[in-house]
């Protein structure tokens, strides 16, 4: 009996090591094979050691190998990092690329195999621990076939991986796809998918690698580092400046083009890294022009303390003063502010022609509601109302956002992806930038040089320009208004 327990325990451990190795080849590249090499050799070696010496130490090492497989690979990696996310994804509208799906499914298989390892390992160890001499004598011959078959299967997997790797071009899409703004990040990924489809045969060889940058900056840096270590990436499309800054050194090292749909000017170095969305001063110029058109001479500012919002508010404030508009009140607040009564009262008391309010949802919703309660009628903003949790609470608020020059773009997107909320701010730039990167890869020369050569294009967000040496693609935003509970482009 003990012989059979020993054999099934060893076979389950070999199978689990094989599945883990395949999973890690998909996740980390060929070096994932090391898991199978280490585990299979250690498991066979330890059992052989036990058979020959009846040693307690051998059983302890064998038990620890089992624990490592069950807890480390099965529970913490297979279950927590793949099974749970896969279940969560199956209940969301998140798009799932083939690579991501394969990664999750092999992770689930790893968790399943670990359960088998736990059962067989327990049976063998409980039978052998207190009767070592009998157990060691009972073990006849260790099964060699599974170990050899695993080596063969792994060679095939690594070969197939290398073949696919050599024949595809990878564009990494880095976006916070699972956090509080997953719905909006989805719009970003869908834009890339739509651009790939619209390019047709031109983008046939291009594979999208989606990287979820949700979580702490530390975690975002880790997943980005891991992605660059695991596979060859040919170009990067990023959604957020905070993760864009972690991508910059990798893009420079690998000499690949990286376009960040973010307005932090310094991310664009004009060599390998570029930004493509209006800079704060582009928003400010358009915003102040509209404020003047509406006869505004005085403004109150209420803005969240956050890098991008601070940049918008500061640029707007400078541009307004340059144009003779007075700032009567300037209130900044933290991202965890709950009560806006005091700030709204102060803004009301300043009695300016217009209140500038900018914050991320859900703060923007609450802030505007409170301003309305205090009797403020004229409210304007930059970008964030389009992301409001409930746009109906922002009825009548005007703001600057992307100029949707291609009037059919939004309807094409919504017809293609019903159920995905169209984020006007990022989607058009993500679409155009993906096309730019895909063409750069299809081009015979160096992809980054192709992007460096583009100083003007006419895309779905209108005319986009760039200084020959600059790292920022610039464009002119449009004026939008929330009307009947929906954003509507008012003036290009």
Partner 1 sequence: MNEARNVRMQFSRILLAISLAAAAAMIVGNVVVQRGGPVVEMPAAFSH
Closest approach of partner 1 to the CB of residue 214, in Å = 6
Hey, how many other C-beta atoms are within 10 angstroms of the C-beta on 104?
22
Collect all residues with Cβ–Cβ distance below 8 Å to 432 and sequence separation of at least 6. 195, 276, 457, 459, 460, 461, 464
Q: Is residue 14 part of the contact set for partner 1 (CB under 8 A)?
A: no
Cα–Cα distance measured from residue 392 to residue 382, given in angstroms and rounded to the nearest whole number: 17
Nearer to partner 1, 217 or 492 (CB): 217
Q: Which of 53, 90, 226, 307 binds partner 1 (CB under 8 A)?
A: 307
Q: Which of 117, 154, 172, 175 binds partner 1 (CB under 8 A)?
A: 175
Q: What number of H helices and E strands is found in the chain?
A: 17, 15
Q: Which of 72, 159, 453, 485 binds partner 1 (CB under 8 A)?
A: 72
Closest approach of partner 1 to the CB of residue 157, in Å = 27
Closest approach of partner 1 to the CB of residue 61, in Å = 10
Nearer to partner 1, 180 or 453 (CB): 180
Q: Which of 209, 423, 451, 479 binds partner 1 (CB under 8 A)?
A: 423
Closest approach of partner 1 to the CB of residue 462, in Å = 19
Of 13-21, 95-103, 126-134, 154-162: span binding partner 1 (CB under 8 A):
126-134
Return the axis-axis angle of helices 217-230 and 241-254, rounded to nearest 10°. Answer: 30
Expressed in percent and rounded to 5, the helix, strand and coil fractions of the chain are 60, 15, 25
Q: Are 395 and 366 in contact (CB under 8 A)?
A: no
Beta strand segments in 418-471, E = 456-459, 462-465
Q: Which of 277, 302, 380, 479 binds partner 1 (CB under 8 A)?
A: 277
Q: Is residue 218 part of the contact set for partner 1 (CB under 8 A)?
A: yes
DSSP per residue over 96-124, as a string? --HHHHHHHHHHHHHHHHHHHHHHHHHHH
Cite the DSSP H helix spans in 351-420.
363-373, 409-416
x/- mask, partner 1, residues 368-407, rule CB under 8 A, reads ---------------xx--x--------------------
Q: Is residue 154 part of the contact set for partner 1 (CB under 8 A)?
A: no
Cα–Cα distance measured from residue 472 to residue 455, given in angstroms and rounded to the nearest whole number: 10
Cα–Cα distance measured from residue 354 to residue 347, given in angstroms and rounded to the nearest whole number: 10
Nearer to partner 1, 111 or 206 (CB): 111
Closest approach of partner 1 to the CB of residue 70, in Å = 7
Closest approach of partner 1 to the CB of residue 34, in Å = 19
Element containing residue 2 per DSSP (H, E): helix 2-28
Q: Is residue 176 part of the contact set for partner 1 (CB under 8 A)?
A: yes
Place of tokens 């990022």: 426
Q: Are 265 and 275 in contact (CB under 8 A)?
A: yes
Collect all residues with Cβ–Cβ distance below 8 Å to 79 and sequence separation of at least 6. 111
Phi, psi of 187 (to 5 degrees): -60, -35
Q: How far is CA 3 from the centre of its chain?
A: 49
329 has which bridge partners?
300
First CA to last CA across the chain, in angstroms?
Answer: 80
Closest approach of partner 1 to the CB of residue 190, in Å = 13
Q: Is residue 92 part of the contact set for partner 1 (CB under 8 A)?
A: no
- For residue 419, give the nearest of 174, 182, 183, 85 by alpha carbon: 183
Nearer to partner 1, 81 or 353 (CB): 81
x/- mask, partner 1, residues 433-472, rule CB under 8 A, reads ----------------------------------------
Q: Which of 243, 402, 420, 475 binds partner 1 (CB under 8 A)?
A: 243
Of 127-135, 151-159, 248-256, 317-325: span binding partner 1 (CB under 8 A):
127-135
Closest approach of partner 1 to the CB of residue 88, in Å = 17
Q: Is residue 140 part of the contact set for partner 1 (CB under 8 A)?
A: no
Q: Is residue 226 part of the contact set for partner 1 (CB under 8 A)?
A: no
List strands edge to edge, sheet with 273-276.
Answer: 206-212, 169-175, 235-238, 258-260, 273-276, 472-473
Of 146-154, 201-209, 292-300, 305-313: span binding partner 1 (CB under 8 A):
305-313
Of 35-43, 89-97, 122-130, 192-200: span binding partner 1 (CB under 8 A):
122-130
Cα–Cα distance measured from residue 470 to residue 454, given in angstroms and rounded to the nearest whole number: 11
Q: Is residue 53 part of the contact set for partner 1 (CB under 8 A)?
A: no
* Interface residue list for partner 1 (CB under 8 A): 56, 59-60, 63-64, 66-68, 70-72, 75-76, 125-126, 129-132, 175-176, 179-181, 184-185, 188, 213-220, 239-243, 261-264, 277, 306-308, 360, 383-384, 387, 423, 425-426
């Amino acid at each position: 009996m003990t012989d059979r327990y020993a054999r099934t325990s060893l076979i389950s451990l070999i199978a689990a090591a094989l599945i883990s190795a395949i999973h890690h080849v998909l996740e980390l590249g060929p070096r994932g094979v090391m898991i199978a090499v280490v585990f299979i050799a250690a498991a066979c070696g330890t059992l052989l050691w036990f058979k020959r010496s009846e040693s307690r130490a051998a059983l302890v090492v064998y038990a620890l190998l089992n624990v490592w497989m069950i807890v480390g690979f099965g529970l913490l990696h297979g279950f927590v990092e793949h099974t749970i996310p896969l279940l969560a994804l199956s209940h969301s509208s998140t798009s799932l690329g083939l690579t991501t799906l394969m990664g999750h499914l092999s992770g689930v298989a790893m968790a399943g195999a670990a359960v088998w390892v736990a059962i067989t390992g327990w049976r063998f160890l409980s039978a052998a621990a207190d009767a070592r001499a009998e157990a060691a004598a009972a073990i006849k011959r260790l099964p060699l076939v599974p170990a050899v078959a695993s080596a063969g299967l792994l060679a095939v997997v690594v070969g197939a991986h290398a073949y696919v790797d050599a024949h595809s071009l990878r564009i990494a899409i880095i976006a916070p796809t699972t956090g509080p703004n997953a719905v909006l990040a989805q719009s970003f990924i869908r834009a890339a998918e739509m651009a790939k489809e619209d390019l047709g045969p031109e983008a046939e060889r291009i594979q999208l690698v989606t990287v979820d940058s949700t979580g702490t900056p530390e975690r975002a840096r880790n997943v980005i580092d891991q992605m660059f270590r695991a596979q060859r990436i040919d170009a990067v499309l990023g959604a957020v400046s905070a993760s864009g800054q972690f991508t910059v050194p990798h893009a420079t090292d690998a000499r690949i083009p990286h376009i960040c749909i973010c307005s932090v000017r310094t991310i664009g170095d004009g060599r390998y890294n570029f930004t493509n969305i209006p800079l704060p001063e582009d928003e400010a110029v358009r915003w102040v022009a509209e404020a003047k058109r509406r006869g505004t001479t005085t403004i109150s500012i209420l803005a969240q303390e956050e890098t991008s919002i601070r940049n918008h508010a500061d640029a707007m404030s400078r541009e307004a003063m340059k144009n003779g508009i007075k700032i009567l009140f300037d209130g900044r607040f933290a991202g965890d502010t709950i009560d806006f009564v005091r700030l709204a009262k102060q803004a009301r008391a300043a009695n300016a022609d217009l209140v500038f309010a900018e914050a991320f949802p859900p703060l923007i919703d609450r802030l505007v509601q409170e301003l309305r309660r205090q009797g403020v009628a004229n409210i304007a903003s930059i970008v964030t109302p389009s992301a409001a949790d409930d746009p109906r609470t922002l009825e009548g608020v005007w703001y600057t956002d992307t100029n949707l020059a291609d009037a059919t773009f939004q309807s094409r997107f919504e017809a293609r992806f019903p159920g995905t909320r169209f984020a006007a701010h990022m989607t058009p730039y993500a679409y155009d930038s993906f096309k730019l990167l895909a063409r750069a890869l299809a081009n015979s020369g160096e992809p980054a040089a192709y992007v460096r050569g583009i100083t003007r294009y006419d895309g779905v967000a209108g005319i986009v320009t760039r200084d020959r040496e600059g790292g920022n693609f610039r464009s002119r935003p449009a004026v939008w208004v929330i009307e009947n509970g929906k954003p509507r482009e008012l003036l290009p």
